[in-house]
């Protein structure tokens, strides 16, 4: 379970960092608006230069008063021009929250006005007025499309390692469980979960082994048994080899002893044969039992 928890944490952190980096582009746009007191010279050129530095962004735009006036790239996003983020029923909750709190908000996943599924990050922009007052100018925003927004998380690597996963969130308005991305989600039994903290909300990544936790334990046990059997087989092979070496050494020793006995016997016979006189052999009791001439 510890491995699954570590994997879930790694992928969740990668996704969070990727989204945060993409959303940070709204601050750069807001700075340009404030610097120009509400006017951005050559927005198309500036935004086009910015896009390569923020992987995952499908569109950068400005919405003075909440209505989109300019977007880069324009191709594929034409339908978003003139879209009022403060009055649209699908997006006005997060747009008004951003305006009223002065904080960056994230809306979605949802169906985008220009088509397709994505999320929209909005940063409210306020311009300084006389006497220290501030005036709401509108929003800088970024659009992130699916599935590209998930590229940083490298979620397919989880399935390659034998884990089922589901990326989901609770819809703020209804509390409904909304699935964002999943693979083999029916196998998620007692999953480990990691939270992805995002502006005004959170997503959750749930991860579990495809075969279940008990099957993982079984596979570990099977692996240990396999290792034990391999060790025993290696030990038996070593014993057999050692026995063969010992047998060979014994054969050499027997041959040496036999050779020594034969040599001693031959030496004794040669000695006896060399004696010319009669030789008597006696036992310990003094009895003669052999004679040689």
pTM over 0.75, yes/no: no
Q: What's the confidence (pLDDT) of residue 278?
A: 60
- Does 28 share its domain with 107? yes
Does 128 lie in the same domain as 231? no
Residue 76 lies in a domain: yes
- Residue 188: phi, psi to the nearest 5? -80, 90
CA separation for the pair 69, 35 (Å, rounded): 18
- Pairwise CA distance, residues 61 & 85, whole Å: 12
Check whether residue 140 and residue 226 sit in a common domain: no
Residue 24: give its domain's CATH number: 3.30.450.350
Residue 71: C-alpha distances to residues 24, 60, 121, 124, 275 (Å): 17, 6, 14, 16, 129
> Would residue 273 count as lying in a domain?
yes
What's the rounded Cα separation, in Å, for the pair 99 and 24? 17
Residues 126 and 244 in one domain: no
Residue 223 is part of which domain span?
A: 214-282
39 and 141 assigned to the same domain: yes
Domain count, the chain: 2
Instruction: Work out the angle at residue 290's Cα, subtended by the Cα atoms of residues 285 and 293, and round it to the nearest 5 degrees.
Output: 140
277 alpha-carbon distance from chain centroid: 101
Task: Let me know if residue 36 belongs to a domain.
Answer: yes
| Cα–Cα separations (whole angstroms), residue 8 to 14, 22, 60, 70 | 10, 21, 30, 38
Q: Is residue 53 part of a domain?
A: yes
Per-residue model confidence as pLDDT tens digits over 10-19? 999 999 999 9
Q: Rounded distance, CA 15 to CA 149, Å?
A: 8
pLDDT by residue for the chain (293 residues), tens digit each? 788 889 999 999 999 999 999 999 999 999 999 999 999 999 999 999 999 999 889 999 999 999 999 999 999 889 889 999 999 888 899 999 999 999 999 998 988 877 788 999 999 999 998 788 899 999 999 999 988 888 888 988 988 888 999 999 998 888 899 999 998 878 788 899 999 999 988 999 999 998 877 655 556 666 788 888 888 888 888 888 888 888 778 777 777 887 777 777 777 677 656 655 666 667 777 776 666 66
Is residue 130 located within the same domain as residue 226? no
139-186 pLDDT, tens per residue? 999 999 988 888 888 988 988 888 999 999 998 888 899 999 998 878
Rounded to whole angstroms, how far apart are CA atoms 50 and 71? 13
CB 177 within 8 A of CB 188: no
pLDDT digit string, tens, across residues 47-68: 999 999 998 899 999 999 999 9
85 three-state secondary structure: coil
Query: What is the pLDDT at residue 293?
Result: 60
Predicted confidence at residue 275, as pLDDT, reads 59
State residue 198's pLDDT score: 94
Helix (H) or strand (E) holding 190: none
Q: First and final CA of the chain: distance in angstroms?
A: 96
């Amino acid at each position: 379970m510890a491995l699954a928890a570590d994997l879930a944490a790694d992928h969740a952190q990668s996704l969070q960092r990727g989204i945060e980096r993409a959303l940070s582009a709204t601050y750069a746009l807001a700075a340009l608006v404030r610097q120009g007191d509400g006017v951005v010279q050559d927005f198309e050129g500036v935004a086009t230069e910015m896009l390569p530095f923020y992987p995952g962004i499908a569109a950068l735009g400005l919405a003075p008063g909440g209505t989109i006036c300019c977007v880069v790239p324009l191709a594929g996003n034409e339908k978003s021009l003139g879209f009022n983020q403060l009055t649209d029923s699908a997006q006005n909750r997060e747009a008004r929250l951003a305006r009223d709190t002065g904080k960056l908000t994230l809306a979605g996943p949802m169906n985008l006005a220009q088509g397709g599924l994505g999320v929209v990050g909005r940063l409210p922009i306020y311009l300084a007025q006389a006497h220290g007052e501030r005036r709401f100018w509108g929003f800088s925003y970024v659009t992130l499309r699916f599935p590209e927004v998930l590229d940083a998380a490298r979620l397919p690597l989880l399935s390659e390692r034998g884990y089922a996963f589901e990326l989901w969130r609770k819809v703020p308005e209804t509390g409904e469980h909304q699935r964002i991305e999943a693979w083999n989600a029916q196998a998620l039994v007692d999953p480990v979960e990691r939270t992805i903290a995002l502006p005004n909300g959170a997503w959750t990544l749930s991860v579990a082994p495809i075969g279940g936790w008990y099957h993982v334990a079984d596979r570990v046990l099977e692996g240990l048994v396999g290792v034990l059997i391999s060790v025993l087989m290696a030990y038996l092979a070593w014993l057999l080899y050692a026995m063969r070496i010992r047998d060979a050494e014994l054969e050499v020793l027997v041959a040496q002893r036999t050779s020594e006995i034969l040599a001693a016997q031959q030496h004794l016979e040669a000695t006896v044969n060399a004696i010319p006189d009669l030789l008597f052999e006696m036992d310990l009791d003094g009895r003669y039992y052999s004679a040689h001439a």
